[in-house]
C-alpha cells in the first residue's frame, strides 16, 4: 500500500448515501459486479453464499398498513477507521487500511480463507468465494482488465473500486499532477446510481460534498455504538430511518437446501 | 559429539517446530495461493487499447444513451451519458449489463431461415379472401415497424398488429405535473426514461394506488392500498366526484377505500393541478379523468412521430389483436427481437386459422413465442443489432436515436425487417438512412452529439454529418411545439376482467418485476434475483408464511402454480411482506401465458 507523504496529502475517501432518494433499482449492485469482475451466481448460490460487494436491503418500520413505511438501504463495506475489526483478526495481514486513502483493502493473494474477518465484520459486508469464478462461454471477454478475478477459497469485499483509483492516479501523473482531482476518481456504484443517491469524495476536504453531507444533522452511520468509525454516511429526513443505524443487519432468509 | 539416532530425530523435530516460527512456510502458502489464482480455471481479462464509443440502449422503449468502454473492440462496461437531453446520464440495471447479452447461455445460434421463408411465401400465395397475413410488432414506432407496415400494405390481406400502447400513444410531460396519481403504474421501477422520471420526481407529489407495496408504492408520498383489479372503480369514483355527481356505489365498495377518502383524493387532484393520472390500458376512464384534473394538454399531450419519407405513408395502419376475426390469420410473423409488451399466447392462438397456420418468431431464445412457433429464427441482440429508438412515453418532443452495434452479430442471425420486407418483395436495407434524411430535410429540432455534449440546430448540420452523428450515438430531438391535448380516440381498450371468484383457486396473483417480454437479461442479474432478496426472480413465487403453510410448501420448495389456463413449475419463497391470500410471481413468458395480474391461482406441491 502507498504511504502518505508530504507531497500527497492523506485523503479519507468516504460516501454519503441519501436513503430518501434510493429507489432500490439495484443498478449499483450490477455496476459493481461488472466493474470488479464478480461472476454471475453459481447454481448453488443463495443470498447467503452469493457475492454482492454492495447489497440493497429493503427495510421497513415494522408497522402494518397504513403506517407501514419502507426504504431501500445499500450496504457495502463501511470502510471503518483505525479500529477496523477485520484488520485486527486477519492472521495473514491480508487486510489493511491504506493511510493515503483510508480505504480498507483486501488482498486475495494473501487470504487463507479462514473467514475470521467475515465473523468479525459487524456489517456482514465481506463475501467468501465458495466456488471458482465462472462466466458463461464467451462472457469472460467482457471482464474489466483492471481487476483480477478472485479464486475459490478467498474473501473479497468492496474496496471503493481500487482499480479506478489506480487509473485515476496514472491519469493524474500523466497530466503532471500530484493529486487526483475531485471527480476524477468515482466508484462504479456512484457513477451508476440513476437517482444520484450515492455521493463520493474526500471527507478530509471541507469543500467536498461528502464532507458537508457527513456533517448534516440528518446523517447517520451504521452501528456507531461500536466505534468502528465507518466512512459511509447515510442520510434521511425521517427519524425511524435514522434509527436503522443502531439495528443489526436485517435477518436473511432460511438457508436454501440447494446451497 | 556422537551422533545418535535419538539426536538426529531431536534435531529434525526441533527444526520442524522452529521453521514454523519463520516466515518460510507462510510465504509458501501465499505463493501457492498466487499460483492457484492464475491456474487455467480462472479467466484472465483481455488487455488492449481502451476506447470509448456511444450508442443507444435498445432493451426498452426508453432508448437511453450509452457510453461504452471498450478494450480493443470488446465492450467491457456500459454507462450513461450525463449531458444527454433525454436520458440525463441514467441507465437501469438491465442497461448496465447489456454487453453480456450476446453471451447468454440460452441464446439461439441457428434456425431454419430458408424453410421459414418458403413457408411464408406459400402462405402468402395461398391466402384466402377471409384470411390474413399478419406481423405482430412488440415495439411499435421504430423504423423497422414502418417497414412491417409497408410490407403489410404490399401483401394481399396484410395486417400490422401491435400491443396496446401505453396511454394510447399520448406523451407524458412529468415536468408539467404538480401531482401524479398512479393507478398501479410502476412509475419508479422502469416506467418511461429512468433518468427523466427521477429528475422530475422532486417536482410532483406522487400518490400510488395499488393493492401491494411495490417499489413505487414504497417511495410514493402517499400509498393508497386499493383492492386488486379495482382501478376502474377508483377512476369512476374520482370522475364522478370531480364532475360534482353522486359517487357510484361500487367505487368505495370495490376499491376498499371509504367515500370520504375518494372525495379527499379528488379534492387533492383538483386543488394541486395540473394533476396527472396514469393507469394501464385496463382503465380507459383515465382519459376523461385527466381532462377534469387539468392534465390534458399540459402534462398529457399529443406528440408527432419523427418524420418519415413521403413514400412510406401508404402503409398499413396499426391494428389491435381484437380487430382480427378468430381463425383468420394464415401466417403470423412475430418480431420479439427487442423486448416489448408480451401478449399471452392464449390471446393469439384463437386468431390463427385452424388448419396448419404458419407462425414464425424472430427471437433470441425459445423462451418466448418460440415455444409456440413452427419456425424460430435467431436474431441479433443488443448491442449487436442496428435499429432506432423512437421517443419514449415521457418525452414531450419527438426524437430519433440509432442503436449502433458495439460488437458484430454472429453468422446465421436473421434480420426480421429484411426477412419480412423480402417476403413482400421490398428492399428495406436503407430504411434507417432514408428516415434520417427525411428528418434532416425538415430542418427542425436539434442534434445532440455525445462526444462533445453539444446540441446543434439541425439547420446547421450537413446531411452526411447528421447521419454520421446519429451513428455515433447522437440524438435528434424535435423542436418544442405548442403542447396540445391528445385526441379522444387514443386506443385505450378495456381488457376483459379476469374472473375473481374461484373457490378452488384461493390465491390472488400479483405479477412483479417484468424484465421485458422475453426475459432478455444478463446472467449477472443474479445479483438482484438470486444472490440477494432485492427482486423476485423469474418463475419464483412468494407467499405469506400462513399461505405457504396452507399450501403445504416451504422456503425453497419446488411447486407448481395452477390457474384456469394451465400450470407452471415455480420455486417458493416465503416472505412476511406478502399479504395473506396472495401469491407474488416473478413474471416470465411462461407465467404470463397462464395468468395475468389479479387472476386466481393455486400453489401445490410438485
Tens-place pLDDT, residues A124-151: 999 999 998 999 999 999 999 999 999 8
Instruction: Report DSSP state, residue B296.
Output: B
Question: Position of cell 427495510?
Answer: A59
Residue A230 structural domain: 13-246
B171-301 topology per CATH: Dimethylsulfoxide Reductase; domain 2 (3.40.228)
All three cell numbers of B496, joined, read 376483459
| C-alpha distances in Å from residue A25, one per residue of B90, B102, B189, B192, B353 | 12, 23, 7, 14, 43
| Cβ <8 Å between A25 and B48 | no
Are the CB atoms for A51 and A29 separated by under 8 Å?
A: no
Does A252 fall in a domain?
no
This prediction's pTM: 0.91
Q: Which of B45, B523, B531 sits opposite A143 (nearest CB)?
A: B45
In whole angstroms, what is the distance from residue B319 CA to residue B302 CA? 19
Q: What is the model's pLDDT at position B498?
A: 47
In whole angstroms, what is the distance from residue A60 CA to residue A70 CA? 4
Q: B573 touching A, CB under 8 A?
A: yes
| Cβ <8 Å between A192 and B97 | no
Check whether B495 has a pLDDT greater than 50: no
Other C-beta atoms closer than 10 Å to the C-beta of A138 total 14
What is the pLDDT averaged over residues B46-64?
94
Are the CB atoms for B278 and B187 separated by under 8 Å?
A: yes
Show Cβ contacts of residue B399 under 8 Å, excluding neighbours closer than 6 positions.
B63, B86, B306, B389, B390, B391, B392, B475, B476, B477, B478
In angstroms, the separation between the Cα of residue B367 and the nearest Cα of chain A is 18
All three cell numbers of B381, joined, read 441482440
Instruction: Give residue-wise pLDDT tens across range B390-406.
Output: 999 999 999 999 999 99
The candidate with the shortest Cα–Cα distance to B60, out of B589, B572, B519, is: B519
Question: Position of cell 498466487?
Answer: B34
| Chain B residues with beta carbon closer than 8 angstroms to that of A45 | 526, 530-531
Q: B219 touching A, CB under 8 A?
A: yes
In whole angstroms, what is the distance from residue A218 CA to residue B20 CA? 52
Q: Which of B34, B198, B530 sits opposite A41 (nearest CB)?
A: B530
For chain B, the maximum distance between any two Cα atoms, rounded to a whole number of angstroms, is 117
Q: What is the model's pLDDT at position B494?
A: 41
In whole angstroms, what is the distance from residue B583 CA to residue B601 CA? 8
H or E element: which one contains B515? none
| Cβ <8 Å between B76 and A144 | yes
| Cβ <8 Å between B48 and A145 | yes
Buried b (16+ CB within 10 A) or exposed e, B340-379: bbbbebeebeebbbeeebbbbbbbbbbbbbbebbebbbbb
Check whether B564 has a pLDDT greater than 80: yes
Check whether B266 has a pLDDT greater than 80: yes
Q: Which of A58, A144, A145 sits opposite B534 (nearest CB)?
A: A58
Q: What is the model's pLDDT at position B580?
A: 83
| Chain B residues with beta carbon closer than 8 angstroms to that of A51 | 531
Are the CB atoms for B375 and B120 separated by under 8 Å?
A: no
What is the chain A residue with the closest CA to B49?
Answer: A145
H or E element: which one contains A23? none
Identify the residue with better confidence: A121 or A182. Answer: A121
The CATH code that applies to domain B507-605 is 2.40.40.20
Identify the residue with better confidence: B228 or B463. Answer: B463
Are the CB atoms for B497 and B229 separated by under 8 Å?
A: yes
Share of chain B above pLDDT 70, in %: 94
Q: For strands B566-574 and B375-378, give the pairing.
A: unpaired
What is the pLDDT averaged over residues B453-479?
96
In whole angstroms, what is the distance from residue B429 CA to residue B427 CA? 6
Instruction: Report DSSP state, residue B541.
Output: E
| Chain B residues with beta carbon closer than 8 angstroms to that of A253 | 533, 555, 573-574
Beta-ladder partners of B275: B179
Check whether B574 has a pLDDT greater than 90: no
Are the CB atoms for B147 and B417 separated by under 8 Å?
A: yes
What is the pLDDT averaged over residues B530-539?
83
Q: Which of A24, A49, A137 sits opposite B215 (nearest CB)?
A: A24
Q: What is the model's pLDDT at position A55?
A: 96
Check whether B241 has a pLDDT greater than 90: yes
Compute the C-alpha angle B52/B53/B55, nearest 5°: 150
Q: Which of A41, A56, A252 sits opposite B534 (nearest CB)?
A: A56
| Chain B residues with beta carbon closer than 8 angstroms to that of A52 | 527, 531-532
What is the pLDDT averaged over residues B514-537?
79
Q: What is the model's pLDDT at position B506?
A: 79
Q: For strands B132-137 and B158-162, give the pairing.
A: parallel
In whole angstroms, what is the distance from residue B386 CA to residue B370 CA? 22
| Chain B residues with beta carbon closer than 8 angstroms to that of A37 | 45
In angstroms, the separation between the Cα of residue B170 and the nearest Cα of chain A is 25
Q: For strands A55-60 and A70-75, give the pairing.
A: antiparallel
Cis peptide before B274 (omega within 30 of 0): yes
DSSP states of B178-200 as a string?
A: SEEEEES--TTTTSS-HHHHHHH
Compute the C-alpha angle A54/A55/A61, nearest 5°: 135
Instruction: Give residue-wise pLDDT tens across range A91-121.
Output: 989 999 999 999 999 999 889 899 999 999 9
Q: Which of A23, A47, A252 sits opposite B219 (nearest CB)?
A: A23
For chain A, the maximum distance between any two Cα atoms, rounded to a whole number of angstroms, is 59
Q: B107 touching A, CB under 8 A?
A: no
Identify the residue with better confidence: B480 or A123. Answer: A123
Q: Which of A47-51, A119-123, B22-26, B451-455 has the lowest mean pLDDT?
A: B22-26
| Cβ <8 Å between B534 and A29 | yes
Tell me how far the alpha carbon of residue B408 is from its chain's centroid: 23
| Cβ <8 Å between A136 and B194 | no
Other C-beta atoms closer than 10 Å to the C-beta of B507 total 26
All three cell numbers of B37, joined, read 489464482
What is the chain A residue with the closest CA to B46?
Answer: A145
What is the chain A residue with the closest CA to B90?
Answer: A194
Does A64 fall in a domain?
yes
Check whether B222 has a pLDDT greater than 70: yes
Identify the residue with better confidence: B129 or A1. Answer: B129
Q: What is the model's pLDDT at position A254?
A: 44
Check whether A253 has a pLDDT greater than 60: no
| Chain A residues with beta carbon closer than 8 angstroms to that of B410 | none
The conformational region for residue B376 under phi > 0 = left, psi -120 to 50 = alpha, else beta, is beta
Q: B198 touching A, CB under 8 A?
A: yes
What is the pLDDT averaged over residues B89-106?
95
In whole angstroms, what is the distance from residue A99 CA to residue A85 CA? 16
Question: Position of cell 407524458?
Answer: B172
In whole angstroms, what is the distance from residue B562 CA to residue B582 CA? 13
Q: 3-class SS at A203?
A: coil
H or E element: which one contains A122? none
Could you tell me the pLDDT band of residue B335, with boundaries at 50, 70 and 90? Answer: very high
Please provide the average confidence, as pLDDT, over all residues in chain B.
90
Domain ranges of chain B: 5-37, 113-166+306-477, 171-301, 507-605
- Considering only the top CATH level, what class is B113-166+306-477? alpha beta
In angstroms, the separation between the Cα of residue B228 and the nearest Cα of chain A is 16
Show Cβ contacts of residue B551 under 8 Å, excluding neighbours closer than 6 positions.
B507, B543, B559, B602, B603, B604, B605
Number of structural domains (chain A) is: 1
In angstroms, the separation between the Cα of residue A119 and the nearest Cα of chain B is 19
Q: What is the model's pLDDT at position A255?
A: 42
Interface contacts (A, B; CB < 8 Å):
198
In whole angstroms, what is the distance from residue B49 CA to residue B127 CA? 55
Cis peptide before B346 (omega within 30 of 0): no
Cis peptide before B430 (omega within 30 of 0): no
In angstroms, the separation between the Cα of residue B91 and the nearest Cα of chain A is 6
Are the CB atoms for B37 and A37 separated by under 8 Å?
A: no
- The enclosing domain of A92 has a CATH number of 3.30.70.20
Instruction: Report DSSP state, residue B535.
Output: S
What is the pLDDT averaged over residues A10-20?
95
What is the pLDDT averaged over residues B431-452?
96
Q: What is the model's pLDDT at position B595?
A: 83
Amino acid at each position: 500500500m502507498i504511504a502518505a507523504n508530504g507531497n500527497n496529502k492523506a485523503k479519507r475517501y468516504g460516501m454519503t448515501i441519501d436513503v430518501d432518494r434510493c429507489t432500490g433499482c439495484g443498478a449499483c449492485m450490477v455496476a459493481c459486479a461488472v466493474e470488479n469482475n464478480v461472476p454471475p451466481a453459481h447454481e448453488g448460490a443463495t443470498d447467503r453464499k452469493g457475492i454482492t460487494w454492495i447489497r440493497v436491503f429493503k427495510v421497513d418500520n415494522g408497522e402494518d398498513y397504513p403506517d407501514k413505511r419502507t426504504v431501500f438501504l445499500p450496504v457495502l463495506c463501511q470502510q471503518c477507521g483505525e479500529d477496523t475489526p477485520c484488520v485486527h483478526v486477519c492472521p495473514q495481514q491480508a487486510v489493511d487500511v491504506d493511510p493515503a486513502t483510508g480505504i480498507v483493502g483486501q488482498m486475495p493473494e494473501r487470504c487463507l480463507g479462514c473467514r475470521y474477518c467475515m465473523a468479525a465484520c459487524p456489517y456482514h459486508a465481506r463475501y467468501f468465494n465458495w466456488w471458482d469464478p465462472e462466466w458463461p462461454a464467451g462472457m469472460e471477454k467482457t471482464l474489466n482488465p483492471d481487476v483480477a478475478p478472485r479464486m475459490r477459497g478467498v474473501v473479497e469485499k468492496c474496496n471503493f473500486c481500487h482499480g479506478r483509483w489506480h487509473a485515476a492516479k496514472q491519469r493524474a501523473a500523466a497530466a503532471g499532477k500530484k493529486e487526483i482531482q475531485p471527480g476524477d476518481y468515482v466508484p462504479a456504484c456512484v457513477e451508476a446510481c440513476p437517482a444520484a443517491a450515492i455521493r463520493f469524495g474526500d471527507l478530509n476536504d471541507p469543500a467536498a460534498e461528502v464532507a458537508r453531507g457527513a456533517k448534516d444533522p440528518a446523517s447517520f452511520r451504521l452501528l456507531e455504538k461500536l466505534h468502528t468509525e465507518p466512512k459511509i454516511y447515510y442520510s434521511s429526513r425521517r427519524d425511524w430511518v435514522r434509527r436503522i443505524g443502531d439495528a443489526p443487519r436485517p435477518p436473511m432468509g432460511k438457508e436454501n437446501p440447494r446451497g | 559429539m556422537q551422533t545418535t539416532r535419538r539426536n538426529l530425530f531431536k534435531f529434525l523435530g526441533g527444526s520442524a517446530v522452529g521453521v514454523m516460527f519463520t516466515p518460510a512456510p507462510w510465504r509458501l502458502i501465499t505463493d501457492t495461493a498466487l499460483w492457484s489464482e492464475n491456474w487455467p480455471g480462472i479467466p484472465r481479462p483481455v488487455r488492449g487499447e481502451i476506447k470509448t464509443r456511444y450508442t443507444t440502449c435498445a432493451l426498452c422503449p426508453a432508448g437511453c444513451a450509452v457510453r461504452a468502454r471498450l478494450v480493443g473492440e470488446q465492450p467491457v462496461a456500459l454507462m450513461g451519458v450525463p449531458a444527454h437531453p433525454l436520458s440525463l446520464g441514467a441507465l437501469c440495471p438491465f442497461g448496465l449489463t447489456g454487453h453480456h447479452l450476446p453471451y447468454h447461455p440460452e441464446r439461439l445460434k441457428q434456425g431454419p431461415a430458408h424453410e421459414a421463408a418458403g413457408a411464408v411465401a406459400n402462405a402468402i400465395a395461398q391466402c384466402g379472401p377471409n384470411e390474413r397475413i399478419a406481423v405482430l410488432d412488440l415495439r411499435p414506432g421504430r423504423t423497422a415497424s414502418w417497414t412491417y407496415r409497408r410490407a403489410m400494405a404490399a401483401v394481399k390481406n396484410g395486417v400490422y398488429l401491435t400491443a396496446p400502447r401505453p396511454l394510447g400513444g399520448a406523451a407524458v410531460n412529468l415536468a408539467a405535473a404538480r401531482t401524479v396519481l398512479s393507478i398501479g403504474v410502476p412509475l419508479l421501477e422502469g416506467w418511461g426514461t429512468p433518468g427523466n422520471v427521477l429528475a422530475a420526481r422532486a417536482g410532483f407529489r406522487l400518490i400510488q394506488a395499488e393493492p401491494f407495496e411495490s417499489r413505487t408504492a414504497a417511495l410514493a408520498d402517499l400509498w393508497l392500498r386499493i383492492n386488486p383489479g379495482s382501478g376502474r372503480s377508483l377512476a369512476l369514483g374520482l370522475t364522478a366526484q370531480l364532475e360534482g355527481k353522486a359517487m357510484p356505489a361500487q367505487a368505495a365498495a370495490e376499491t376498499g377505500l371509504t367515500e370520504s377518502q375518494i372525495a379527499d383524493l379528488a379534492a387533492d387532484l383538483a386543488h394541486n393541478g395540473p394533476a396527472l393520472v396514469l393507469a394501464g390500458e385496463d382503465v380507459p376512464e383515465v382519459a376523461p379523468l385527466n381532462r377534469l384534473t387539468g392534465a390534458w394538454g399540459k402534462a398529457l399531450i399529443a406528440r408527432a412521430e419523427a418524420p418519415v419519407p413521403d413514400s412510406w405513408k401508404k402503409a398499413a395502419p396499426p391494428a389491435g389483436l381484437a380487430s382480427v376475426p378468430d381463425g383468420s390469420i394464415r401466417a403470423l410473423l412475430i418480431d420479439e427481437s427487442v423486448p416489448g409488451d408480451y401478449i399471452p399466447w392464449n390471446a393469439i392462438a384463437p386468431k390463427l386459422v385452424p388448419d396448419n397456420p404458419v407462425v414464425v418468431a424472430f427471437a433470441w431464445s425459445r423462451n418466448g413465442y418460440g415455444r409456440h412457433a413452427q419456425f424460430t429464427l435467431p436474431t441479433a441482440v443488443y448491442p449487436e443489432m442496428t435499429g432506432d429508438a423512437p421517443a419514449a412515453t415521457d418525452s414531450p418532443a419527438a426524437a430519433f436515436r440509432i442503436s449502433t452495434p458495439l460488437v458484430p452479430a454472429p453468422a446465421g442471425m436473421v434480420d426480421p425487417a429484411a426477412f419480412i420486407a423480402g417476403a413482400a418483395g421490398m428492399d428495406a436495407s436503407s430504411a434507417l438512412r432514408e428516415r434520417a434524411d427525411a428528418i434532416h430535410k425538415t430542418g427542425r429540432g436539434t442534434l445532440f452529439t455525445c462526444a462533445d455534449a453539444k446540441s446543434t440546430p439541425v439547420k446547421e448540420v450537413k446531411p452526411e454529418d447528421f447521419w454520421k452523428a446519429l451513428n455515433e450515438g447522437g440524438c435528434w430531438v424535435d423542436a418544442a411545439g405548442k403542447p396540445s391535448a391528445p385526441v379522444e380516440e387514443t386506443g385505450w381498450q378495456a381488457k376483459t376482467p379476469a374472473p375473481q371468484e374461484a373457490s378452488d383457486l384461493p390465491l390472488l396473483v400479483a405479477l412483479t418485476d417484468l424484465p421485458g417480454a422475453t426475459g432478455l437479461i444478463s446472467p449477472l442479474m443474479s445479483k438482484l434475483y438470486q444472490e440477494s432478496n432485492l427482486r423476485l426472480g423469474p418463475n419464483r413465487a412468494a407467499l405469506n408464511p400462513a399461505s405457504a403453510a396452507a399450501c403445504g410448501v416451504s422456503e425453497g420448495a419446488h411447486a407448481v402454480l395452477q390457474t384456469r389456463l394451465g400450470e407452471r413449475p415455480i420455486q417458493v419463497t416465503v416472505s412476511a411482506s406478502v399479504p395473506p391470500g396472495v401469491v407474488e410471481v416473478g413474471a416470465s413468458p411462461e407465467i404470463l401465458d397462464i395468468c395475468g395480474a389479479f387472476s386466481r391461482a393455486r400453489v401445490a406441491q410438485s
